[in-house]
Amino acid sequence: MNEAEEIREFLQSDLALACPTDASMEDLIEVLADRINRLIHADFDQLIRLLYRIDVNENKLKSLLKNEASHDSGRLIATLIIERQLQKIKTREENKPTKNQTGDDKW
């Protein structure tokens, strides 16, 4: 599975967002940015809980929103969420057990 497919799966399963099967990473950012913008205006507490659950770096978020105040906040936050998910994917791949590990070496 490539990164866009994994992100699409995350958006569909964890956030209940409908994403086209052939969506590009840019398309996925747009879908997520739309949801984020709706949360900003309608349910800010839910947005905060979502960011906490996904483990978006609070300092990085505050800095980005301050330094890029003229840009769409939903898109900025969506980009951070996707970056965080990509970090998680990379970490899982790096820590995946190899086929030649013995039972004692596996977790």
Question: What is the residue extent of each domain of the chain?
Answer: 3-94
Q: What percent of the chain has pLDDT over 90?
A: 70
Q: What is the model's pLDDT at position 20?
A: 86
Mean pLDDT taken over the chain = 89
Mean pLDDT (whole number) for 89-96: 87
Phi first, then psi, for residue 99 (nearest 5°) are -65, -25
pLDDT per residue as tens digits for the range 23-75: 899 999 999 999 999 999 999 999 999 999 999 999 999 999 999 989 999 99
Q: What is the model's pLDDT at position 106?
A: 56
